[in-house]
Amino acid sequence: TPRVFSGIQPSGGLTLGNYLGAMKRFVEMQNADDGFECVYCMVDLHAITVWQDPAALTRNTRELCAGFIAAGIDPERSILFNQSQVPEHTQLAWIFNCVARMGWMKRMTQFKDKAGKNAENASLGLFGYPALMAADILVYHATHVPVGEDQKQHLELTRDIAAKFNHDYGTNFFPLTEPVIEGAATRVMSLRDGSKKMSKSDPSDMARINMTDDPDAIAQKIRKARTDPEPLPDNEAALEERPEARNLVNIFAALSDRSVAEVLADVGGKQFSEFKPMLADLAVEQLSPISSEMARLMEQPDEIDAILARGAERAREIAAPILRDTYRIVGMVGA
Ligand code: ATP
Ligand code: MG
């Protein structure tokens, strides 16, 4: 059966971008009739590539797990765990550190964005992030990886690493993974700046909608979201040069499971003063059941920890033999 892998960092609270670009897809793939085996991971080892306060990391990992479950991931049907409990990820990442080339890593735009001007001061882990990500995916021989648009370049690198490994060792052991980048909101933008992606690590809380925001906060953030003075157009092409307007329309479409064209057929001609409250109502309606379920699950951290521990056991049953075979291909004694 085809296998799905994807991860989310516990580097802050879940955002609307994570939900629409990733988690909503995860749920669809779990529930698809095609019979995917789904492996979903809280990638705590990725999170610490930039500084994380230890208590916050623990809390964010549990809250992220609660978010997965509240959004519709069933920990029986899918495998749900945190990365650090499955050491095979970092073991395979080391092999991939020796396969990937410095030049490949230097071209990664996420590194450039996150390292900022002073790249010399970034952690070595941030630089090597894509090799660990390739290991996350390939240690399960995953074939499908649902992600947001921003991860496309990392997935191409994952294919390059798999292809170079296969070539160097004369094997076809690692599959070439397909990115699954689908839906109306594969790149949700910041509410304050239509040229920047919405991120959980953005210093401005007004730039994003958090899954845990209450209805008032959601409404206020949408009301204050940057827009232009024109009314909404009635066709998609006219959104081309209007990134902020396009972002709000994309969010509306994704939240209502409709296409952008269908949404514009309804709201074309409206002013933002009328559209924004409609969007806020829709967002509250879609997000509040998830956030209240998250809050309920967070009252039982022991249960969350047990789910993650059990998920890690199941994940290791898949990952350990694949790592052993990799070691054998590389020529490690004892594998
Ligand atoms: P950070 O700022 O710490 O990198 P993040 O919000 O980018 O956090 P990640 O954990 O890096 O979240 O990404 C988890 C998943 O969410 C990935 O599949 C990523 O592509 C997707 N994603 C992140 N931000 C967005 C966004 N703005 N729109 C759509 N998908 C997104
Ligand atoms: Mg990110």
Concatenating the DSSP letter of every residue in 181-229 gives --STTSSPBPSS-TTSB--TT-S-GGGS-BTT--HHHHHHHHHHS---S
Average pLDDT over residues 42-55: 98
Q: Residue 146: CB within 6 Å of ligand 1?
A: no
What is the total residue count of the chain? Answer: 335
Name the residue type at position 162. Answer: A
Cβ atoms of 65 and 27 within 8 Å: the answer is no
The reply to whether ligand 1 has any atom less than 6 angstroms from the CB of 200 is yes
Ligand nearest to the CA of residue 151, numbered in listed order: 1
Q: Are 267 and 275 in contact (CB under 8 A)?
A: yes
In this prediction, residue 183 has a pLDDT band, given cuts at 50, 70 and 90, of confident
Q: Give the residue numbers marked as catalytic.
A: 114, 197, 200
Specify the ligand 1 atom closest to the Cα of 197: 27
Taking the centre of ligand 1 as the mean of its atom positions, its distance from the CA of residue 238, in whole angstroms, is: 27
Ligand nearest to the CA of 50: 1
Q: Which band of pLDDT confidence, cut at 50, 70 and 90, is reported for residue 33?
A: confident
Provide the pLDDT for residue 130. 98
Please report which confidence band the pLDDT of residue 172 belongs to, taking 50, 70 and 90 as the band edges: very high
What is the per-residue pLDDT for 34?
A: 77
Asked whether the predicted pLDDT for residue 115 surpasses 90, the reply is yes
- Would the pLDDT of 184 be above 90? no
Q: Whose CA is nearest to atom 11 of ligand 1?
A: 9
| Helix or strand run (H / E) with residue 313 | helix 301-330
The overall longest dimension of the chain from CA atoms, in Å, is 69
State pLDDT tens for residues 93-107. 999 999 999 999 999
pLDDT at 135: 98
Asked if residue 318 has pLDDT above 90, the reply is yes
Question: Which amino acid, one-letter code, is at 195?
Answer: S
Question: pLDDT value at position 57?
Answer: 98
- Judge whether residue 317 has pLDDT over 90: yes
Cα distance between residue 215 and residue 205, in whole Å? 15
Separation of CA 18 and ligand 1 centre (Å): 5
| pTM for this model (two decimals) | 0.96
Which ligand is nearest the CA of 11, by number? 1
pLDDT band at 230, cuts 50/70/90?
Answer: very high
pLDDT given at position 264:
97
For a ligand 1 pocket test, name from 199, 212, 248 the mutation site with the most ligand atoms within 8 angstroms of its C-beta: 199
Nearest residue CA, atom 14 of ligand 1?
8
User: What is the distance in A from the centroid of ligand 2 to the CA of 228?
Assistant: 27
- Which atom of ligand 1 approaches the CA of 150 most closely? 20
The encoded tokens of residue 240 equal 């081309």
Tokens linked to 327: 């070691």
**pLDDT tens for residues 243-268?**
999 999 999 999 999 999 999 999 99
- Closest ligand 1 atom to Cα of 201: 2
Tokens of residue 101, six digits: 């080339």
- What pLDDT digit, counting tens, does each position of 116-141 carry? 999 999 999 999 999 999 999 999 99
Q: Using the CB atoms, write b or e for 160-181: b if 16+ within 10 Å.
A: bbbebbbeeeeeebbbebebbb
Evaluate if residue 1 carries a pLDDT over 90. Answer: no
- How confident is the model at residue 132, as a pLDDT? 98
Mean pLDDT value across the chain? 97
Is residue 334 helix, strand or coil?
A: coil
Tokens for 300? Answer: 């039982």
48: nearest Cα among 122, 126, 150: 126
**15 within ligand 1 shell (Cβ under 6 A):** yes
**Over residues 271-298, mean pLDDT:** 98
Annotated binding residues, written as ranges, equal: 9-11, 17-18, 136, 148-150, 188, 197-201
Cβ atoms of 46 and 9 closer than 8 Å: yes
Residue-wise pLDDT tens digits, 51-89: 999 999 999 999 999 999 999 999 999 999 999 999 999
pLDDT category at 151 given cuts 50, 70, 90 is: very high
Structural domains in the chain? 3-186+301-330 (3.40.50.620), 212-296 (1.10.240.10)
Considering only CA atoms, which residue is closest to atom 23 of ligand 1? 18
